[in-house]
Structure 1
Amino acid sequence: MASVSEKLSILADAAKYDASCSSSGSKRANKDKGLGNSDGMGICHSYTEDGRCVSLLKILFSNVCIYDCAYCVSRRSNDVQRASFTVQEVVALTLNFYRRNFIEGLFLSSGIFKSADATMEKLVRVARTLRNEHNFNGYIHIKAIPGASEDLLHEAGLYADRLSVNIEIPSEPSLQKVAPEKNYSDIITPMNFLSEERIRLVDERKVIRSAPRFMPAGQSTQLIVGASPDSDWQILNLADGLYKQQKLKRVYYSGYVPIATDDRVPSVSAPPLLRENRVYQADWLLRFYRFSLDEIVTPEAPDLDLEVDPKLGYALRNPQAFPVDINRADYEMILRVPGIGVKSARKIVSARRFQRITWDNLKALGVATRRARYFISCPGLTAAPDWDTPRLRSELIAPASRPLESPQLSLFG
């Protein structure tokens, strides 16, 4: 039988393929002299607003799985060393790592062993033990297992800050090809239940202050980029619907990592990190820049341009919308200028209430002027020459071959 340290080595390595972990949105304060505090903190090597990097214990409960999904390292037919923790082992690891200041929370997923309910029950028991027996108030993110009962999902939401049901493959036909034992209904059903239950209990707390908090950091999911022939439009159309209908806090994207030879998935030498980054940038435009999906990709032009970020791509395709008068345009239009982010746009709108914004002012407000100068007008800025899309593209294009290590953080600088 493997030791705990051997299990940790196996199950921490297997967990690295899951990108859908974050602690944003949770406010679980320490109480009754307990352990941990997720108030104002992030998790999973994320960055807080003040730039601090924080971490978590990110492991699988087990890499034994009854499914044979072509894209998954833990699939039934893959020849890997198998291991499983006990509930007490996960609890002890979490507490010991926390006391040594190595982590600030727990991200717990698992292969599906025996059944969905059997797996979900173990994950819930870990969270329940940490909360009730050890008074652990740190961040807990649990993977919600498709097909698990509503009772178990409800209990998980009472103990975990965030739950995530990973969709992985962006369309039903592709899912049937690479994971024929799964179906979209089993994935979307728990998402809908968790969303509705959270809304119900939030409303209940408005009337009854003692009503339990449920999944305070919401839910997230993961989509794999490049494990199927689905286009960027299909990926982003699904994500856009999840944000609007299931009220997901975050959709994470993971470039397909080739793990074994299988004719159901593409034969690639490396993950498509540049494409993954472009999808993250497009997701950012949907969530924070007030773009609609058809302004980024369409069924007729379904894939993102790998040479330019999607915001610059929009500007190059729509010369009629530019230049933007910085002193007259509304906030939404200023957001569409390449080189101007959300913070800079807010500063511009606030500052121009008191003075006309000049070219020198924009530099002080944090605008990426090298990029923005082609798409704006303001006092002090020499008018750009006549619009020439190929020329602009060649001047502003970013290197497309450089590997990106942190795609979530490399956005519209």
Structure 2
Amino acid sequence: MAVLTLKRKLEILSDAAKYDASCASSGTVKRDSVGGKGMGSTDGGMGICHAYAPDGRCISLLKILLTNFCVYDCAYCVNRVSSNTPRARFSVAEVVDLTLGFYKRNYIEGLFLSSGIIKSGDYTMEEMVRVAKSLRIDHDFRGYIHLKVIPEASPALVNEAALYADRISINVELPRDASLADLAPEKDAVGIKKAMGRVRLGIDQATERSIKTKPPKFAPAGQSTQMIVGADAATDGEILAKSAGLYGAYGMRRVYYSAYSPIPDTTSRLPPVRPPLMREHRLYQADWLMRFYGFTHDEITVAGVDLDLDIDPKLAWALRNRGDFPVDLNTAERETLLRVPGLGVRSVERMIDIRRYKQLTLEDVKRLTRRLDKLKPFIVTADWRPGALTDKADLRARLAPPTQLSLF
């Protein structure tokens, strides 16, 4: 077998990593260098793979697999053992050198590292931990590190990973446990949940200690997960219910949604075409409503129903609940304002600030929002009432543009 150059390995293993969406770095804490001698930071810059923090900061990451060799045969994965795809494997030293080299050139601020399963879960996890440990201990690297945890690995190795990584993630893979058993027989839904539970316990214990003594050193940016959308028959209602459970039970920072992408030579049990990308977008919007707008998953859509692809989920909810509108922007509580289509968290906060010293007018709202036409049927201001507009039968057609990709 021909020996691959480092450049060719990087081409193969960065391309193989693109299917993992759960690499955002929101929630990290800056690791300050003692005496200014440390390597890297989590602030600012340009990079290879971009992740965004809640405050808008862009974090650039080297996003790679340690290897795309894998002993598992997950039907939906291009790197499965039976797949005919180019293979490569980095050594621990190569990943460390690449990370430091890209950082010194100001290309990245951190590393996202995942892997196919080599030999066993423990062997693979140990190799990934060696990368993070070498960066932190041998090179005083203080940039961001996100490690993908192998659920089958021993709790001791997972705990060690969390000591060196800012964030760790364990992919739940598919919305339905039965689908996971069918399409990824080597993976165990119960084992995945147990691993997530242990991580949450470690984070909670570290946070409790930090209140009394010092900052937490156990995955300070928390844990995240990812679900593949469209590989099985799960509806959006089921997916959001699953996400709500993951947020509640395991304290997830983020649940990521990845539209299934058909791969060559796969099983007929998988769909031949990928789901609409708009479906993935709507799930992210719905997830945002649950995390920041006070919606429950069953308010957005129920178990057997998919999200409307033509309009965003907040507008869809408002059209189903017209009796809750119009809302008086000068008197309504924050929780009520957040449910108005077209109002985001920042615009609501600014409105609350402004109305402390004056009555909000339609002109004020226009300056704070992007689409006044979307708002007008649902609001009352000092100089505007929608009259019968809120109840018009064709209101949906008036408000739904041909393509809608903004958050709200």
Query: Could you say which TM-score interval applies, normalised by the shorter chain?
Result: over 0.9
Aligned to 1:362: 365
Q: How far is the alpha carbon of 1:95 from its aligned partner?
A: 0.5
Other structure's SS at 2:258 match = strand
Aligned to 2:308: 305
Q: Which amino acid counterpart does residue 357 of structure 1 have in structure 2?
A: L
Alignment counterpart, residue 207 of structure 2, candidates 191, 202, 208:
202
Aligned to 2:60: 55
Other structure's SS at 2:75 match = coil
Q: Which amino acid counterpart does residue 346 of structure 1 have in structure 2?
A: E
Aligned to 2:78: 73
Aligned to 2:401: 398
Say whether the 8 Å CA contact 2:125–2:153 is kept in structure 1: yes
Q: 1:10 to 1:185 in 2, by over 3 A?
A: same
Q: Which moved more, 1:273-282 or 1:237-246?
A: 237-246
Alignment counterpart, residue 237 of structure 1, candidates 234, 241, 262:
241
Cα-to-partner distance string for 1:171-230 (whole Å, 9 max, x where unaligned): 111112211221211211111101001111221233333x76110100000111111110
Q: TM-score, normalised by structure 1?
A: 0.93
Other structure's SS at 1:127 match = helix
Q: Does 1:411 align with 2:402?
A: no
Q: Does 1:30 align with 2:32?
A: yes
Cα distance in 2, alignment partners of residues 212 and 349 from structure 1: 35
Q: Does 1:322 align with 2:329?
A: no
Q: Which amino acid counterpart does residue 126 of structure 2 have in structure 1?
A: E
Aligned to 1:407: none
Q: How far is the alpha carbon of 1:152 from its aligned partner?
A: 0.5
Say whether the 8 Å CA contact 1:174–1:230 is kept in structure 2: no
Other structure's SS at 2:377 match = coil
Number of aligned residue pairs: 402
Q: Does 1:87 align with 2:92?
A: yes
Q: Does 1:224 align with 2:225?
A: no
Q: How far is the alpha carbon of 1:122 from its aligned partner?
A: 0.4
Say whether the 8 Å CA contact 2:44–2:57 is kept in structure 1: no
Cα distance in 2, alignment partners of residues 359 and 172 from structure 1: 49
Q: TM-score, normalised by structure 2?
A: 0.94
Please show how residues 11-410 of structure 1 align to structure 2 within 5 Å: 11-32=13-34, 33-39=37-43, 44-48=49-53, 53-209=58-214, 213-260=217-264, 261-268=266-273, 270-299=274-303, 302-366=305-369, 368-388=371-391, 390-400=393-403, 410=406
Q: How far is the alpha carbon of 1:302 from its aligned partner?
A: 2.0
Q: How far is the alpha carbon of 1:34 from its aligned partner?
A: 1.4
Say whether the 8 Å CA contact 1:27–1:40 is kept in structure 2: no
Q: 1:233 to 1:271 in 2, by over 3 A?
A: closer
Cα distance in 2, alignment partners of residues 9 and 314 from structure 1: 44
Identity of aligned residues (%): 51
Say whether the 8 Å CA contact 2:379–2:385 is kept in structure 1: no
Cα distance in 2, alignment partners of residues 238 and 252 from structure 1: 12
Cα-to-partner distance string for 1:79-99 (whole Å, 9 max, x where unaligned): 011111110000000011111
Q: How far is the alpha carbon of 1:271 from its aligned partner?
A: 4.8
Q: 1:42 to 1:375 in 2, by over 3 A?
A: farther
Q: 1:54 to 1:206 in 2, by over 3 A?
A: closer
RMSD of the alignment, in Å? 1.9
Say whether the 8 Å CA contact 1:121–1:152 is kept in structure 2: yes
Other structure's SS at 2:351 match = helix
Cα distance in 2, alignment partners of residues 24 and 154 from structure 1: 21
Q: Which amino acid counterpart does residue 293 of structure 1 have in structure 2?
A: H
Say whether the 8 Å CA contact 1:120–1:152 is kept in structure 2: yes
Q: How far is the alpha carbon of 1:49 from its aligned partner?
A: 6.1
Cα distance in 2, alignment partners of residues 180 and 49 from structure 1: 36
Cα-to-partner distance string for 1:228-279 (whole Å, 9 max, x where unaligned): 11011111111111111111101111111111242121110x4521000000
